[in-house]
Amino acid sequence: MVTNQASIKRDGVQDYVSLRATAAIIFAYSVFMAWFFISTDNLTFIEWRGLFSGLAMKVFTLAALVAVMIHVRIGLWQVLTDYVKSAGLRAGLQYILNIIAFGYVAVGLFVLWGV
């Protein structure tokens, strides 16, 4: 019996949809933050803390952080697959960069939920 090896790992369509969905979340977050900076006359710590104290903003920021991590993981996998031919070096780089991306989200969570 022949098994489909592609079913074990992700495929191109899943990567495509994931990249587009995460890009949309990152774009929406960037537009919102740009609007906040443009529309706020005098940005103080009180206003900044007020922005991030609401549950909706915390969830939106968390979604943006996770979207950045997923976007980075897929993008780096594609770039490293194209340009790093040594499988061992590529695996090591992917491991290190994935740990950094996860650390980015972890630090963001501590900062975000500490407000």
**What average pLDDT is seen over the chain?**
88
DSSP class of residue 7 equals G
User: CA–CA separation, 75 vs 73, rounded Å?
Assistant: 6
Tell me, yes or no, whether 81 lies in a domain: yes
SS3 labels along 61-115: HHHHHHHHHHHHHHHHHHHHHHHCCCHHHHHHHHHHHHHHHHHHHHHHHHHHHCC
Tell me, yes or no, whether 6 lies in a domain: no
Tell me, yes or no, whether 4 lies in a domain: no
Output the pTM of the full model.
0.81
The answer to the question of whether 104 is labelled as a binding residue is no
pLDDT at residue 1 above 70? Answer: no
The boundaries of the domain holding residue 99 are 12-114
Tell me, yes or no, whether 54 lies in a domain: yes
Model confidence band, residue 103 (pLDDT cutoffs 50, 70, 90)? very high
What total number of domains does the chain contain? 1
Tell me, yes or no, whether 101 lies in a domain: yes
What's the CATH number where 55 sits?
Answer: 1.20.1300.10
